[in-house]
């Protein structure tokens, strides 16, 4: 993820659409993939990504540069995703196949979809709070401190949520095997 300069952020806050596009290009993959892992539905992920970037565009003028833009975007993404999951907008759950089948049908891509389905099945067993910690740690590789910063809790809470989540996932072993995954 490339770092966005202060000048670009200021220009985007002043309404320069090219500067905002640069921010989108740098951070949209993170936002979209977090939303996709959390909802397991490409359409929902698109909605969340759009909401996140419209919110960023609206609030960018008030950004104080006290933290990195990246951290701020992580936080906004986490909040929007959890709010979306808890709201009635989220429908349970459109399969990855819905959005991916039309793209490609080769073997490696099929394996990829199966891996996505497995992860999606596992993540559905967790609460949104546990799920976001697992996604940020296991998928995006964030440290406990970074997760804590994004979620707005302290590192001990992150550690505790991850433990509970792993305990729950480990106990699902037989259930997942029964699905033939």
Partner 1 sequence: MDCKKARDLILGDYFDGYLNDYDKYKLEGHIDFCPSCQKLADGVRENAVMPFEKIHDQPVPVELWESIKAAIEKKRCRHTFKDRLLGFLNSEKFCYGLNVFVDGLCVIILVLSLFGKVGSRSDNRQVYSQLDGVSYFARSANNSDRHRYGTDIEKYFL
Using CB under 8 A, list all residues that contact partner 1.
Answer: 15, 17, 20-21, 24, 28-29, 32-33, 36, 42, 46, 49-50, 53-54, 57, 112, 115-116, 118-119, 122, 134, 137-139, 144, 159, 162-163, 165-167, 169-173, 176
Nearer to partner 1, 78 or 123 (CB): 123
Sequence-distant (≥ 6) Cβ neighbours of residue 120 within 8 angstroms: 37, 40, 93, 96
Nearer to partner 1, 19 or 67 (CB): 19
What is the closest distance, in whole angstroms, from the C-beta atom of residue 152 to partner 1 in the complex? 21
What is the closest distance, in whole angstroms, from the C-beta atom of residue 28 to partner 1 in the complex? 5
What is the closest distance, in whole angstroms, from the C-beta atom of residue 92 to partner 1 in the complex? 20
| DSSP code of residue 126 | S
What is the closest distance, in whole angstroms, from the C-beta atom of residue 161 to partner 1 in the complex? 11
CA distance 23 to 4: 7
Q: Could you give the 3-state DSSP secondary structure of residue 161?
A: helix
Nearer to partner 1, 28 or 95 (CB): 28
* DSSP line for 11-57: HHHTT-HHHHHHHHHHHHHHHHHHHHHHHS-HHHHHHHHHHHHHHHH
Nearer to partner 1, 82 or 176 (CB): 176
Nearest to 179 by CA among 119, 110, 98, 129: 119
């Amino acid at each position: 993820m490339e770092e966005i300069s202060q000048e670009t952020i200021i220009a985007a806050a002043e309404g320069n659409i090219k500067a905002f596009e640069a921010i989108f290009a740098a951070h949209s993959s993170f936002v979209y993939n977090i939303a996709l892992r959390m909802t397991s539905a490409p359409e929902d992920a698109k909605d969340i990504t759009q909401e996140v970037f419209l919110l960023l565009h609206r609030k960018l003028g008030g950004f104080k540069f006290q933290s990195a833009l990246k951290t701020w975007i992580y936080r906004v993404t986490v909040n929007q995703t959890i709010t979306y999951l808890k709201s009635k907008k989220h429908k349970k759950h459109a399969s990855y196949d819905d959005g991916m089948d039309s793209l490609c049908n080769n073997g490696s891509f099929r394996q990829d979809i199966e891996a996505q389905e497995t992860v999606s099945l596992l993540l559905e067993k967790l609460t949104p709070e546990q799920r976001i910690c697992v996604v940020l740690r296991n998928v995006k590789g964030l440290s406990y401190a970074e997760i804590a910063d994004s979620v707005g809790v302290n590192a001990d809470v992150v550690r505790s949520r991850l433990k509970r989540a792993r305990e729950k996932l480990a106990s699902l072993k037989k259930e997942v095997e029964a699905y033939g995954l």
